[in-house]
Structure 1
């Protein structure tokens, strides 16, 4: 039973710690067990640990101080065992845990200060290696890459509505204005050409007088229709017609008398 528990303890001691250093937001811790027949393990101490030993504990590793050497780490996760180191005084120079510092992705530097008093900066790497002062067997892990900016999801193209044609301007229908000249209130008197002058021939003069009478009457009627004083012009027309008839008769008689003589 004791052997079984001892075997389980060895398995737990050398079980690999999840490699969280690649995404560590704090201090990365590397522990190299190769000098004890194991491998290299990593852990992450979140934030800003107060000391190197605090970072070791926060990264998932236990440690033990030498009983007569305060602040000297003689075991990490129970290694080496009590059969190899009693952890009373400082470990021998050929078999001890050396302590290292490095910037992320940089180079290892041996610490000139004990882990109990050294304050690691956030974002750095702390290393431990068992042996004769060799540095850890892996390079300090690089700092995690900054997160890529998130691209906003592509928006589907916005369909623009078709441009609306402006409605045609309706022209108002053309308005035709007809201006009617007002009828003259006063009709022009008949011209002298409308009054037939006495002819040198008796029969022709009488015929002219008879032919002109209807024309004068028609003219008088038109004037009467256009004017409110048509009765005056009608009377004047009748007098003119009568004068023409009388003149025609007189002329005809004179011609006859002259012919008889």
Structure 2
């Protein structure tokens, strides 16, 4: 007899729908509070957009029953309360009935002024049921699931700068680098000019002194010769010119040789 009772209990338990977990629910979350009947608070998820409150209750894994003379009035959820408490013929008493609530996800409960058979719950909202004298469900409406974190952006490697292009030699052409210029090779140029300038100045001065001496001598001869001074002066001048020219030529060659 005991075994028969256990088997019957297992059959009844298997016939009762098991609520789905509401975490991450993509649809309508359903909360059912059995505390007034000695149970706890259960949650389920009605995926998508249920057509009514009772459709959401059923899709979330909870069974329900209407009063036989009051269609649309839910008097039992998951077979509770039992037939010994509520015959489910007419509406249940105001101190022991299933009150119907709704709320936005993470919001506050509001008592529904519509029956569960006619109200269409919005997707993403929360439906609540609590047995007792009209108390709201014993837990706050669950919040909406957190959005998934954004996918990490792929790391793009930093561009590597290509090496600078080296100039390519032209075939058949040989480039010879210029020879370095030594400062010691340039310096003597300015120094070598200086003696030439000094020599030229010295030559000009000597020539002027000789010319002055010859003119002075010619003056003396003229003063001594009397009337024949013209021819004598002409001859002296020719001699002086030749002497000066020869002296200049000789000194210039000497300077160039040095």
TM-score normalised according to structure 2 size: 0.60
1:139 to 1:41, Cα distance in 2 relative to 1, 3 A: same
Deviations 1:30-58 (A, max 9, x none): 00111111111111111111100000011
Q: Distance in 2 between matches of 1:162 and 1:120?
A: 67
Q: Residue 72 of structure 1 aligns to a residue in which SS?
A: strand
Structure number with larger C-alpha Rg: 1
Q: Distance in 2 between matches of 1:39 and 1:46?
A: 23
Whose helix fraction is larger, Structure 1's or Structure 2's?
2
1:15 to 1:52, Cα distance in 2 relative to 1, 3 A: closer
1:5 to 1:84, Cα distance in 2 relative to 1, 3 A: farther
Aligned to 1:140: 141
Which structure 2 residues correspond to residues 186-201 of structure 1 after superposition, within 5 A? none
1:114 and 2:115 are equivalent in the alignment: yes
- Measured after TM superposition, the shift of residue 136 of structure 1 is 0.4
Q: Residue 142 of structure 2 aligns to a residue in which SS?
A: coil
Which structure 2 residues correspond to residues 90-239 of structure 1 after superposition, within 5 A? 90-156=91-157, 161-167=162-168, 172=173
Q: Residue 23 of structure 1 aligns to a residue in which SS?
A: coil
Which structure 2 residues correspond to residues 8-87 of structure 1 after superposition, within 5 A? 8=10, 17-20=19-22, 22-87=23-88
Deviations 1:189-248 (A, max 9, x none): xxxxxxxxxxxxxxxxxxxxxxxxxxxxxxxxxxxxxxxxxxxxxxxxxxxxxxxxxxxx
1:134 to 1:27, Cα distance in 2 relative to 1, 3 A: same
Q: Residue 46 of structure 2 aligns to a residue in which SS?
A: strand
1:136 to 1:10, Cα distance in 2 relative to 1, 3 A: farther
- Measured after TM superposition, the shift of residue 84 of structure 1 is 1.0
Matched positions, count: 173
Structure 1: where are the runs of 5+ without partners?
Answer: 175-261
- Measured after TM superposition, the shift of residue 16 of structure 1 is 6.9
1:70 to 1:16, Cα distance in 2 relative to 1, 3 A: closer
Q: Residue 147 of structure 2 aligns to a residue in which SS?
A: coil
Structure 2: where are the runs of 5+ without partners?
Answer: 176-258
Deviations 1:62-102 (A, max 9, x none): 10000011100000011111111111111111111000000
- Supply the RMSD in Å over aligned alpha carbons: 2.6
